[in-house]
Amino acid sequence: MGMVGGGKGAFIGAVHRISAQLDNQIELVCGAFSSDPVNSVASGKALYLDEQRCYASYQEMFEKERELGDDGMDMVAIVTPNHLHFPIAKMALEHGFHVMSDKPATVDLSEALALKEIIEQTGLLYGLTHTYTGYPMVKEAKARIKKGLIGKVKKVVVEYPQGWLANKSDEQSKQAAWRLDPKTAGISCCMGDIGVHAANLAEYVTGLEITNLCAELSSNVSGRVLDDDGSVLLRFNNGAQGVLLASQISVGEENSLKLRVYGETASIEWSQLEPNSVWMKFADKPSQLIRAGVGEMDEITQANMRTPAGHPEGYLEAFANIYTQFSYQIRSRLFGLSEDVNIGAMNDVPGINTAIRGMAFIENVVAASQSELKWHPF
Amino acid sequence: MGMVGGGKGAFIGAVHRISAQLDNQIELVCGAFSSDPVNSVASGKALYLDEQRCYASYQEMFEKERELGDDGMDMVAIVTPNHLHFPIAKMALEHGFHVMSDKPATVDLSEALALKEIIEQTGLLYGLTHTYTGYPMVKEAKARIKKGLIGKVKKVVVEYPQGWLANKSDEQSKQAAWRLDPKTAGISCCMGDIGVHAANLAEYVTGLEITNLCAELSSNVSGRVLDDDGSVLLRFNNGAQGVLLASQISVGEENSLKLRVYGETASIEWSQLEPNSVWMKFADKPSQLIRAGVGEMDEITQANMRTPAGHPEGYLEAFANIYTQFSYQIRSRLFGLSEDVNIGAMNDVPGINTAIRGMAFIENVVAASQSELKWHPF
Amino acid sequence: MGMVGGGKGAFIGAVHRISAQLDNQIELVCGAFSSDPVNSVASGKALYLDEQRCYASYQEMFEKERELGDDGMDMVAIVTPNHLHFPIAKMALEHGFHVMSDKPATVDLSEALALKEIIEQTGLLYGLTHTYTGYPMVKEAKARIKKGLIGKVKKVVVEYPQGWLANKSDEQSKQAAWRLDPKTAGISCCMGDIGVHAANLAEYVTGLEITNLCAELSSNVSGRVLDDDGSVLLRFNNGAQGVLLASQISVGEENSLKLRVYGETASIEWSQLEPNSVWMKFADKPSQLIRAGVGEMDEITQANMRTPAGHPEGYLEAFANIYTQFSYQIRSRLFGLSEDVNIGAMNDVPGINTAIRGMAFIENVVAASQSELKWHPF
Amino acid sequence: MGMVGGGKGAFIGAVHRISAQLDNQIELVCGAFSSDPVNSVASGKALYLDEQRCYASYQEMFEKERELGDDGMDMVAIVTPNHLHFPIAKMALEHGFHVMSDKPATVDLSEALALKEIIEQTGLLYGLTHTYTGYPMVKEAKARIKKGLIGKVKKVVVEYPQGWLANKSDEQSKQAAWRLDPKTAGISCCMGDIGVHAANLAEYVTGLEITNLCAELSSNVSGRVLDDDGSVLLRFNNGAQGVLLASQISVGEENSLKLRVYGETASIEWSQLEPNSVWMKFADKPSQLIRAGVGEMDEITQANMRTPAGHPEGYLEAFANIYTQFSYQIRSRLFGLSEDVNIGAMNDVPGINTAIRGMAFIENVVAASQSELKWHPF
């Protein structure tokens, strides 16, 4: 694997590197870690890479690695600022490399659609690190709903409150700066950064699609252009109702992503801050606290766990699940499948369709917020 | 105290009796417990009342008790089905009795406004058992916000999910039957029964007023006319945003009333199922779990607690707080105030203004739900 | 009911009065609230009692109330300091009154045995407010173990940490003063005050008896004579092991009484600070959170609940269960049983045998602590 | 790094590999994964190792890798069954390799003492994967106690309940078989496997030493020779009291390792199942929930975290902290220290002294259990 972006000082680059290599199925062999060639080489060397493969630009990397043939990288991880995701992914695909992109795939929906065409033309693999769906107990929740254990879904409540942008003084950090700037972040801050995770989680777990939105986005600090908070009413394609809350001004909240799905016969609940548990609640019997590894787990859940019950897994492992399953996809193309690989899990990697759905969500939720009418079609 | 309604088999009548007498400030002396005279007497005798004061009708009770003068009751508790609350309260006031009414005060807003006029004309006291604001830690949350401990309120999330009406088979019970029938319940089931509690809690704790609503009410079981679920976006009079969720189809939920208020510098959280705790969360320091009786409590909180830290109080004590503080209001009129009475707490009893606000909420949220426009003024 | 003790300023007297009257089965009609006649009358008048029945001493009360015959009290509640419990109970029984005594029954085991003889001779009823076993979900835990739902009990862990006596400065309060003084508290502070609750809870819920103790009691503040902390290893009569922890120096703990019982096939857990829940855990399936009123409850549990699911009950209701069930015992003697009364629940009131067991625990645990040998027989 | 043990089918070998490589500071380059040469090669190839460096025995590996000089491995990870830990570590050290050993270091105390001598003679580095002390919030708890934030420690409660050996049928697994066999497990099952973790955690966090033990170990399944449950009273070198509970028969418990430390002014609490939190409780102010990354963290805590607040870390990251800090120790010897490395954190790796302390605990707790006297010196 090669990497574009993620030089010294970047947060998400390190997360990608740890996650990609966690299961020993992917090796980082080269990178264009920075637009500054000196920094790129320094970053690569700090990672114990061959200096020859620490490139000054992604263009150079794609050229040189293609020339290396079988000795070159098979895939590239893109961890740059958002507006570069698309051109880099495009060029990588056109040079024959599979792509794992940090979220969001592109800056807008039209780019995402264009990307899909390129993927289809090249026939290569594309993955997107929608991390939260990588948690094993999220997969368990999805499996249980799919098996009918809560009956028909009637109501969905998904929320993602954070507090880190609550005040003017919070705007100093590099992380905050680009997210609040329309030039780098696109048309939305809160919905684009975290609302889209909430929407994706709701659709992933329920297997439903949002069909209509009623949204109220707001900006709560003077001088701020983009939204930092939003509340959205949802309608789903099976007639279910829903609510989505996302906020960056909810002081004191960490990444409190939480999903509740109410069905006809039971409900199911998952929370990112306690990711190894799922709650099921019933009308006439005790609630169940389902812990990772205790009792029967779905095959796909199991394929995404490394440790037995009682050994908490976390965010990095959820992230790694996406990479590792993606590596099985690549390996399957190159060498065929090992017997150990769970095909269902392997095909569970978020890809271009998730990317398109996400970009469409962002555009629609912003449009819904601007509308005076209550309901906006998705 | 006399009671109208609450004969054998009724749930809320017993709650009122326990709560009214819990602090030994109010004594039940008479009642018209049922429209069936035989049942009324039987109910009263089971309560060890003088048979002479177990009346066949509330009309009879008001007449006879007035004749008793100082030996007659001072106040009446109304615990009948909703549509009778107004005529009984009216007659009680006109006969010179203070009134404590079960929620809702009336069947619609116009009755509530009419009731206010009668109260003002008679100069008598009127209380409404909006139970949840009787919890000491709800009062503590209110006090902390009032003292500025979370800064200006920016966002409010209040939810009241229940699951007891999720299915057709749940409609058999007496409790369900009248709530789902427009003739006895009015224009709303879910919002009228529990949404109004959520709205009241949000306004009570924050000290703010809802100014605009965007609502989606729904009915999720075939044949059902009234709403059993609703999601509402809120705007408050200080510019804060909010969300209110109420549901009777959220399978597995008990009375999971929960309030979160996010201010500029901190947030505050309370949940009815763990009523003796309040959470405060901050941007840059540990969250605080504030337990009833541990550390400094507001004077009004203290005036509504009976036990020191470590002795959980519950729903009946919250209910009793309303009655006991109301008894101090009456006593203050009759005899002046004891030194022990906390005047702030005494004046904290929900009354006709809360009633009007509640009826207005119900009418407006139904109207908002029917509108095609997003925002409906409150 | 009459009351001895519980004048102005006392905590537990008020708890007894609220609890006794909560279900409207018992009425406070007289009292000797203080050894100071003026205070006794003042206290009684503040409770709206007839001044004639506010006595200067318990001796006077027992005499006068006996003379009143059927118009006199039927039972007496004893809420004085511990060393007076026995003489008052003795005199009450000898004057023909049933007795409800605050815990502990007596100051030592020999008194408790003497009291049993008097009870048997008089044929009257005797109850002891071992509050925690009054909680409905404690009864549910007991019922589930009795039904075999966890298999044979193998291990018991019970703990009761408090922090209120952690420091020298905590000794100022009246509550602390008498508990730390051997003259009023007897041979133990921590074990006598709360360890005995833990032991009682363990034996009550499991239905087992402790047969051997290994104890380490300690006194952690300079100048303190009695224990303020203790850890005890237990053996039970079915071969199970156990541990009992009690502490008054565990800073930051409220009344964190908690019981865990591990059986061959499942475990069960209850905590006083969240009294409306019981946890059951299993080897190969999800844990269950059993909430009061959700799903099937044992008959005795139900007979000790007032509110449906979602309405938390607390300490006062647990206390009231003991009084109310005791009132059914008295009523049953006087008038026979009502159909509504659950006989099993009525016979579930802690009485003289619980008292004896408790006094024996205190004496044995102190002896065990003083022994150099590991195990001390109980 | 080379590895001894951890071939296909082993659990802990994979944990070591993931953890060692997680921060990209250590690379697995060779191994003797199995005593079966074919399996060893197959295992190594599945890990993408050079077949030439997949050895048939650890003896061969140490010889060959020494011959490779600077191109050979620097350190070896030992993940075999317990009784082989010592001879392998000995030979590795004698061939010039640093050693990271799975817990326990040896089968008894005398071996551990012998190992210390060898380490001192060779001057090489030795680490022991006492995983739980690798959690950042365990380090935070330790730091807060060291800073005096809870005052002098008065009481320690540490417990490690598991349920996986509760029944006869649980003995089938490979994991169970060797732990219950004195030949491979030594003189204790429960205390040797998990009790020692609890003791280590208590001493690590408090900075105190256990000086006396009173123990009751038991075996709860017929035919079982070694202990599967134990309760231990503790005395510490500062006069504090303590309790240690460890169990493998507590049905329904996962790895519920939990530590509570009560000081004069506050208490602190950590639980492995929610490892990113620490609780502090106080006498007169709200409890604090301290979350990883929220508010000020100690420098050593920070040096052991990879993700900001809101991204849960887990067991593998705790494990990786031990490896990564150990790699800094090696690197420091080889190349000097990078500026980024926190020296305090680097010196926080469990080593031979921890190993000796652990083996001594096991021998003493077994002796204490066999004694008829209450207290046994440690």
Q: What is the pLDDT of residue D312?
A: 97
Contact at CB, A273 and D308, closer than 8 angstroms: no
Residue C175 has pLDDT above 90, yes or no: no
Contact at CB, C286 and A290, closer than 8 angstroms: yes
Query: Read out DSSP for A13-34?
Result: HHHHHHHHHTTSS----EEE--
Q: What is the pLDDT of residue C179?
A: 87
What would the mean pLDDT of B297-319 be, rounded to a whole number?
Answer: 96
The Cβ-side half-sphere exposure at C205, using a 13 Å CA radius, reads 35
Three-point CA angle D236, D239, D246, nearest 5°: 35
- C345 min Cα distance to partner chain A (Å): 23
3-class secondary-structure state, position C117: helix
- Cα C248 from Cα C160, distance rounded (Å): 9
Residue B192's closest CA among B353, B366, B368, B6?
Answer: B366
Instruction: Grade residue B244 by pLDDT with cuts at 50, 70 and 90.
Output: very high
What would the mean pLDDT of C108-130 be, rounded to a whole number?
Answer: 97
A209-253 tens-digit pLDDT = 999 999 999 999 999 999 999 999 999 999 999 999 999 999 999
Put the strands of the sheet holding C98-101 in their side by side order.
C30-32, C2-4, C75-78, C98-101, C126-128
How many other CB atoms are there within 10 angstroms of residue D294's CB atom?
23
What would the mean pLDDT of D163-189 be, rounded to a whole number?
Answer: 89
- D372 min Cα distance to partner chain A (Å): 35
Name residue, tokens 């009459």. C2
Q: What is the pLDDT of residue D59?
A: 97
- A311 min Cα distance to partner chain C (Å): 16
Instruction: Grade residue B149 by pLDDT with cuts at 50, 70 and 90.
Output: very high
Q: What is the pLDDT of residue D359?
A: 96
For residue A242, what are the contacts with CB-CB under 8 A and spacing of at least 6?
Answer: A155, A156, A157, A158, A202, A210, A233, A234, A235, A236, B231
Which of D374, D375, D376 to mutate: most C Cβ within 10 Å?
Answer: D374
Residues of A in contact with C296 (CB under 8 A): 284-285
Residue C174 has pLDDT above 90, yes or no: no
Residue A338 has pLDDT above 90, yes or no: no
Contact at CB, D241 and C229, closer than 8 angstroms: yes
Which is higher by pLDDT, A368 or D338? A368
Which has the minimum average pLDDT: B241-255, D170-184, D231-245? Answer: D170-184
Q: What is the pLDDT of residue B173?
A: 84
For residue D120, what are the contacts with CB-CB under 8 A and spacing of at least 6?
Answer: none
A94-112 tens-digit pLDDT = 999 999 999 999 999 999 9
Residue B95 has pLDDT above 90, yes or no: yes
What would the mean pLDDT of D10-25 be, rounded to a whole number?
Answer: 93
Residue pair C260/D231 in contact by the 8 Å Cβ criterion: no
Identity (one letter) of the amino acid at C142? Answer: K
Instruction: Grade residue A178 by pLDDT with cuts at 50, 70 and 90.
Output: confident
Q: What is the pLDDT of residue C178?
A: 83
> What stretch of H or E contains A358?
helix A352-370
pTM beyond 0.95: the answer is: yes
Which has the minimum average pLDDT: A173-177, A293-297, C145-149, D217-221? Answer: A173-177
Q: What is the pLDDT of residue D237?
A: 98
Q: What is the pLDDT of residue C210?
A: 98
Contact at CB, A285 and C295, closer than 8 angstroms: yes
Q: What is the pLDDT of residue D9?
A: 73
Pair of tokens at residue D120: 């001192």
For residue D96, what are the contacts with CB-CB under 8 A and spacing of at least 6?
Answer: D66, D122, D124
Q: Chains contacting D with at least 3 CB pairs below 8 Å?
A: A, B, C
What would the mean pLDDT of D248-265 be, rounded to a whole number?
Answer: 97
Residue pair C228/C165 in contact by the 8 Å Cβ criterion: yes
What would the mean pLDDT of D37-50 be, rounded to a whole number?
Answer: 94
Residues of C with CB under 8 A from a CB of A: 280, 282, 284-291, 294-296
Residues of D with CB under 8 A from a CB of B: 280, 282, 284-291, 294-296
Residue B10 has pLDDT above 80, yes or no: no
Interface confidence (ipTM) of the complex: 0.96
Contact at CB, D317 and A316, closer than 8 angstroms: yes
**Per-residue CA distances from D341 to B138, C106, C276, D100, D318 (Å):** 48, 65, 50, 20, 17
B22-74 tens-digit pLDDT = 999 999 999 999 989 999 999 999 999 999 999 999 999 999 999 999 999 99
Name residue, tokens 């777990």. A205
Residues of D in contact with B285 (CB under 8 A): 294-296
Residue D131's closest CA among D6, D13, D19, D247?
Answer: D19
Residues of B in contact with C274 (CB under 8 A): 274, 312
Q: What is the pLDDT of residue B134?
A: 98
Q: What is the pLDDT of residue B268?
A: 98
Q: What is the pLDDT of residue C301?
A: 98
Q: What is the pLDDT of residue A336?
A: 87
What would the mean pLDDT of D328-355 be, rounded to a whole number?
Answer: 92
Q: Across the B/C interface, how many CB contacts are shorter than 8 Å?
A: 102
Contact at CB, A288 and C288, closer than 8 angstroms: yes
SS (H, E, C) A86-136: HHHHHHHHHCCCEEEECCCCCCCHHHHHHHHHHHHHHCCCEEECCHHHHCH
Q: What is the pLDDT of residue B137?
A: 98
Residue pair C232/C243 in contact by the 8 Å Cβ criterion: yes
- C296 min Cα distance to partner chain A (Å): 7
- D149 min Cα distance to partner chain B (Å): 14
What would the mean pLDDT of D108-128 be, rounded to a whole number?
Answer: 97
Pair of tokens at residue A322: 């996406």
Three-point CA angle B150, B152, B157, nearest 5°: 75
Virtual CA dihedral for B21, B26, B28, B33, nearest 10 degrees? -80
3-class secondary-structure state, position D374: coil
Identity (one letter) of the amino acid at A227? Answer: D
Instruction: Grade residue A137 by pLDDT with cuts at 50, 70 and 90.
Output: very high
Residues of A with CB under 8 A from a CB of D: 11, 14-15, 17-18, 21-24, 27-28, 47-48, 162, 254-256, 272-276, 291, 293-294, 306-317
Instruction: Grade residue A39 by pLDDT with cuts at 50, 70 and 90.
Output: very high
Which of D164, D211, D216, D234 to mutate: most C Cβ within 10 Å?
Answer: D216
Pair of tokens at residue D345: 């954190």
What would the mean pLDDT of D20-42 be, rounded to a whole number?
Answer: 95
Residue pair B270/B141 in contact by the 8 Å Cβ criterion: yes
What would the mean pLDDT of C8-19 be, rounded to a whole number?
Answer: 89
Residues of A in contact with C291 (CB under 8 A): 286-287
Beta-bridged to residue A291, according to DSSP, are A277
Q: Chains contacting A with at least 3 CB pairs below 8 Å?
A: B, C, D
Residues of C in contact with B316 (CB under 8 A): 22, 306-307, 311, 313-314, 316-317
Q: What is the pLDDT of residue A322?
A: 98
Contact at CB, C247 and D262, closer than 8 angstroms: yes
Residues of B in contact with D295 (CB under 8 A): 282, 284-286
What would the mean pLDDT of C218-245 be, rounded to a whole number?
Answer: 97
Residue B180 has pLDDT above 80, yes or no: yes
Q: What is the pLDDT of residue B49?
A: 96
Query: Read out DSSP for B149-206?
Result: TT-SEEEEEEEEE--TTSSGGGGGSHHHHHHT-HHHH-S-SHIIIIIHHHHHHHHHHH
Residues of A in contact with B164 (CB under 8 A): 283
Contact at CB, C306 and B17, closer than 8 angstroms: no
Provide the percentage of residues in chain B whose pLDDT is more than 90. 89
- C18 min Cα distance to partner chain B (Å): 6
D281-324 tens-digit pLDDT = 999 999 999 999 999 999 999 999 999 999 999 999 999 999 99
C23-72 tens-digit pLDDT = 999 999 999 999 899 999 999 999 999 999 999 999 999 999 999 999 99
Residue A353 has pLDDT above 90, yes or no: yes
3-class secondary-structure state, position B129: coil
Q: What is the pLDDT of residue A185?
A: 84
Instruction: Grade residue A316 by pLDDT with cuts at 50, 70 and 90.
Output: very high
Sequence-ordered strand ranges (E) for D302-346: none
Residue B248's closest CA among B222, B269, B230?
Answer: B230
